[in-house]
Amino acid sequence: QSSDFANANFPVDQEGRTLHLGCKRGEVANRILSVGSMDRALMIADQLQGAEPGAPLFQHLSGRGFLTITGLYQGTPVSIITTLMGMPNMDFVVREARAVVEGQMAVIRLGTCGALRPPAKLGSFMVASPGAVCVRRDPDAWTFDDGRPHYTVSAPVPADPQLVQLLVAACTEHGGADSVVQGLDATADSFYSSQGRTGGHFEDVNEAVIEQLMAAHPQLVSLEMETFHLLDLARCSRGGIKAAAFCIAAAERYSNRFISKEQIQLCERLGGAAALTALMQCPLTDAVGADGSTSS
Ligand code: R1P
């Protein structure tokens, strides 16, 4: 990867590679599956084929640790990209992929999450059908100590209804109807404080975070760290990006149980097939302007 970058507003190197993902035009498909870890990306990539019979998949691991894999799923070009963790990393993935892709895009996140209430249980596919809210720790609550809330919760941002419908159908097909739980997601800016995890080393003032969230949002089922930002960027993409997200319930926050390695790997394979199916089936238009906007 070249180290000479130009344009401080949106840095690209002499080959047109973006600064963090390290990808250029032609290397990323307009249907993207975003996953949190490299293990998950590589496992799901087993379901892709190369561009020509016998050809390897395109793979690029950037210096920042973002892995992009591009190939065909049942004949349709798709990319699997590791988002790593948290909203800033989702920002790099969505904005830098958008910069090197022509036409409208479909993006699905397959993550893991905490399940907040039954019927969601370990291994459930938690589809954020109504979208997501964002939970942020507000440092000003400590700075000013004036009684303001230590955690702020945004209004919900919706997912793309058509992509959600395709995703729910594909999850039902691959995992069975009992595996699917639809509900609102909450995306937190920490795995610990803003997800209500307690411990003695920090004064987090977060004992009531989950209870208050669930009371304010009866539809809330999942808690994780990226979905809201994907849906927020898609909402602001001038029609250029359709997005949806679902997560495997890796923990039951209501019972304190955690999923086994075997169960999560099975769910990742099935969920990967479901996400790739929905991405393949999503209708996209080519009529997207240079700024990513759709004319229709
Ligand atoms: C925390 O362990 C990570 O797991 C969840 C959270 O959103 C966070 O990124 O999702 P992923 O498994 O997709 O990374």
Q: What is the ipTM score, two decimals?
A: 0.99
Q: What is the pLDDT of residue 287?
A: 57
CA of 224 relative to ligand 1 center, distance in Å: 6
Going by pLDDT thresholds of 50, 70 and 90, the confidence category of residue 286 is confident
Tell me the mean pLDDT in the region 195-202.
96
Asked whether 80 and 69 are in contact (CB, 8 A), the reply is yes
Going by pLDDT thresholds of 50, 70 and 90, the confidence category of residue 245 is very high
Q: Give the HSE-up count for residue 47: Cα atoms under 13 Å, Cβ half-sphere.
A: 22
Asked whether 126 and 179 are in contact (CB, 8 A), the reply is no
Residue 296 has pLDDT above 50, yes or no: no
Average per-residue pLDDT for the chain: 95
Ligand 1 test: best mutation among 109, 226, 267, most atoms within 8 Å of CB?
Answer: 226
Residue 205 has pLDDT above 70, yes or no: yes
CA of 295 relative to ligand 1 center, distance in Å: 35
Residue 290 has pLDDT above 60, yes or no: no
Residue 263 has pLDDT above 90, yes or no: yes
For residue range 63-87, list pLDDT tens digits in order.
999 999 999 999 999 999 999 999 9
Q: What is the pLDDT of residue 293?
A: 59
Tell me the mean pLDDT in the region 250-276.
98
Q: Is the distance from the beta carbon of residue 85 to the nearest atom of ligand 1 less than 6 Å?
A: yes
Tell me the mean pLDDT in the region 262-287.
95
Domains and CATH numbers, the chain: 14-281 (3.40.50.1580)
Ligand 1 test: best mutation among 67, 192, 225, most atoms within 8 Å of CB?
Answer: 225
Asked whether 27 and 72 are in contact (CB, 8 A), the reply is no
Distance, first Cα to last Cα, the chain: 37
For ligand 1, atom 14, which residue shows the shortest CA distance? 36
Tell me the mean pLDDT in the region 29-40.
98
CA of 86 relative to ligand 1 center, distance in Å: 8
Q: What is the pLDDT of residue 1?
A: 47
CA of 83 relative to ligand 1 center, distance in Å: 9
CA of 113 relative to ligand 1 center, distance in Å: 7
For residue range 154-180, list pLDDT tens digits in order.
999 999 999 999 999 999 999 999 999
Q: What is the pLDDT of residue 101?
A: 98
Q: How far apart (Å, rounded) are the C-alpha atoms in residues 258 and 213? A: 21
Q: What is the pLDDT of residue 193?
A: 98
For ligand 1, atom 9, which residue shows the shortest CA distance? 85
Consecutive H or E run containing 270: helix 261-281
Pairing of strands 184-188, 132-137: parallel
CA of 4 relative to ligand 1 center, distance in Å: 32
Q: Is the distance from the beta carbon of residue 224 to the nearest atom of ligand 1 less than 6 Å?
A: yes
Cβ contacts of 296 within 8 Å, gap of 6 or more: 239, 285, 287
Q: Is the distance from the beta carbon of residue 38 to the nearest atom of ligand 1 less than 6 Å?
A: no
For residue range 127-163, list pLDDT tens digits in order.
999 999 999 999 999 999 999 999 999 999 999 999 9
Ligand 1 test: best mutation among 66, 81, 224, most atoms within 8 Å of CB?
Answer: 224
Q: Which atom of ligand 1 lies nearest, measured to the CA of 37? A: 14
